[in-house]
């Protein structure tokens, strides 16, 4: 007896293959390259509370959610995680160890919210002392531009 694939099964198989094949493009359909966060950024941080200060930092956002920050004042590294929100913004958090005279006295937990529009990142942050660093609080804004990969 000869078996044949019925037309409805062929249609179902085609629809499944088409859906799987277009899944990645549907996930990123709303975000063009000018609004993506993945990559490295040169950031200007403006502390507005409880003091006024401005300094530089670098941020790096890896696919999968890893976040790295380097403080431009003292090279203090921070690591954390990031994710997109349902409305296309970015939220991220990190922890960096704090030292006074070469002795660790706690850590600082940063919480950030940002948006990338036309290749510029703008956001807000809070930073609070943890792991023994009591009484530390900072808040403010930041803005950044991507660090573009270039060859010599």
Q: Which domains are present in the chain?
A: 33-146 (2.40.128)
Q: How confident is the model at residue 35 (pLDDT cuts 50, 70, 90)?
A: confident
CB 70 within 8 A of CB 81: no
**Cα dihedral 41→47→52→58 (10° resolution):** -20
User: Residues of the chain with pLDDT > 70: what percent?
Assistant: 78
pLDDT reported for residue 132: 95
pLDDT reported for residue 114: 98
Continuous H helices in the chain: 7-27
User: What are the tens digits of pLDDT across the range 50-84?
Assistant: 999 999 999 999 999 999 999 998 889 999 999 99
Q: How confident is the model at residue 131 (pLDDT cuts 50, 70, 90)?
A: very high
CA of residue 89 relative to chain centroid, distance: 9
CB 101 within 8 A of CB 126: no
């Amino acid at each position: 007896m000869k078996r044949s694939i019925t037309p409805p099964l062929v249609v179902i198989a085609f629809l499944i293959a088409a859906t799987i094949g277009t899944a990645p493009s549907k996930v990123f359909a709303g975000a063009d390259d000018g609004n993506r966060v993945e990559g490295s950024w040169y950031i200007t941080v403006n502390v507005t509370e409880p003091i006024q200060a401005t300094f530089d930092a670098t941020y790096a956002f890896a696919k999968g959610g890893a976040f790295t920050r380097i403080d431009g004042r003292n090279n203090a590294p921070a690591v954390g995680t990031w994710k997109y929100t349902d409305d296309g913004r970015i939220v991220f958090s990190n922890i960096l160890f704090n030292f006074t005279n070469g002795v660790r006295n706690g850590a600082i937990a940063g919480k950030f919210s940002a948006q990338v529009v036309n290749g510029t990142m703008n956001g807000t942050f809070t930073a609070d002392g943890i792991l023994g660093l009591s009484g530390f609080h900072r808040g403010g804004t930041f803005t950044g531009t991507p660090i573009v990969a270039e060859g010599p």
